[in-house]
Amino acid sequence: MSKLNIELPGLKLKNPIMPASGCFGFGREYSQFYDLSLLGAIMIKATTVEPRFGNPTPRVAETAAGMLNAIGLQNPGLEKVVGEELPWLSQYDVPIIANVAGSVEEDYVAVAREISKVPNVHALELNISCPNVKHGGITFGTIPEVAKQLTWKVKEVSDVPVYVKLSPNVTNIVEMAKAVEDGGADGLTMINTLVGMRLDMKTGKPILANRTGGLSGPAVKPVAIRMIYEVSQAVSIPIIGMGGISSAEDVIEFFYAGASAVAVGTANFVDPFVCPDIIEKLPALLDRLGFEHISECQGRSWKEHGQRTYHRA
């Protein structure tokens, strides 16, 4: 019997491990390393109505135990994603979570309406938290009323459940989470990257052409854990947790904090095999910790002993 299967709105997952959006393209590059059907799900790269080139280079800079990126939502546009990338992914037995981005409300609505009709798209991830684009993105993710309104509009047109990706670059993330829950969100994904900057030793100027970028990697993990711990107690919708996960132990910690599934981001760049490796190692780790099923770990950091868990398949 599987110890890892999880059921969430729109998603029947073989296991709760999925690559995070922006860290896996549309899967093609990683399909040369392993069978993508091994994954619980795939969060594809953010899709906008029109193709985008993104920001000038340099787009990445390293920091201690992390990296800054400012890619700028480069993607081939809705038509190509729906016409080419998603059909290509349909050869794999894996549900797709489509990351939806835009500059104005109408963009999000247009992408959500079309992309949610594609058969292998089982859920949407509303990207209201990208720190690297001039318009849209994070502006929707820092004002609760705006986020709620956008969630509502996208829910109206989407054929599949809608998860909202929360930004850590806010004063009160619980307030944001409650607002999108009120807006009808079926789930949350968190956290997106933290806005940061690095300066060049010789020139004294920012290394990134965009000046600022989003910090990811092991360095942000404690921030993600704290935020999931707070939000999971304040809302009743499930959380897909992310932020610096690179091992099976990290996954368990996110479940303890209150996540019901997790996404692996930056670690894919370091080790292309990280997702299947984690999936392989989880059952033995659960045994060692005395759990029969991974859902028993969920919310352990704050739940009373013996309290029943949710979302078990």
Partner 1 sequence: MIQKELCRIIGQREIAADIYELTIKANLVKEISEPGQFVHIRVAKHDPLLRRPISISSYDKEARQLKMIYRKEGKGTTLLAEMVEGMEVDILGPLGNGFPIEEVSAGETALLVGGGIGVPPLYELSKQLKAKGVKVIHVLGFQTKSAVFYEQEFLQNGETFVTTVDGSYGFKGFVTDIMKDLQFDILYTCGPTPMLRAIEQKYSNKKLFLSLEERMGCGVGACFACVCKRPNDLSGVSYKKVCSDGPVFRAGEVFI
Catalytic residues: 130
- The binding site for partner 1 (CB under 8 A) comprises 22-25, 28-30, 32-33, 51-54, 57-62, 64-67, 69, 71, 74, 76-77, 217-218, 266, 268-273
Shortest distance, position 267 Cβ to partner 1, whole Å: 9
Helices (H), the chain: 78-80, 86-89, 105-115, 138-142, 144-157, 173-182, 221-234, 248-257, 267-270, 274-289
Residue closer to partner 1, measured from CB, 125 or 181:
125
Q: How far is the CB of 181 from partner 1 (least distance, A)?
A: 32
- Quote the least distance from Cβ 56 to partner 1, whole Å: 9
Contact 261, 275 (CB under 8 A): no
Q: Judged by CB, which is closer to partner 1: 54, or 283? A: 54
Find how far residue 126's CA is from the centre of its chain: 10
Alpha-carbon torsion (267, 268, 270, 273), positive or negative: positive
CB of 174 to partner 1, least distance (A): 29
**Closer to partner 1 at the Cβ: 154 or 264?**
264
Euclidean distance between CA atoms 258 and 274, whole angstroms: 22
Beta 66-69 vs 60-63: how paired, if at all? antiparallel
Q: How far, in whole angstroms, is CA 167 from its chain's centroid?
A: 11
Residues with Cβ within 8 Å of 204's Cβ and at least 6 positions away in sequence, in order, are none
Query: Based on CB atoms, which residue is closest to partner 1, 15 or 268?
Result: 268
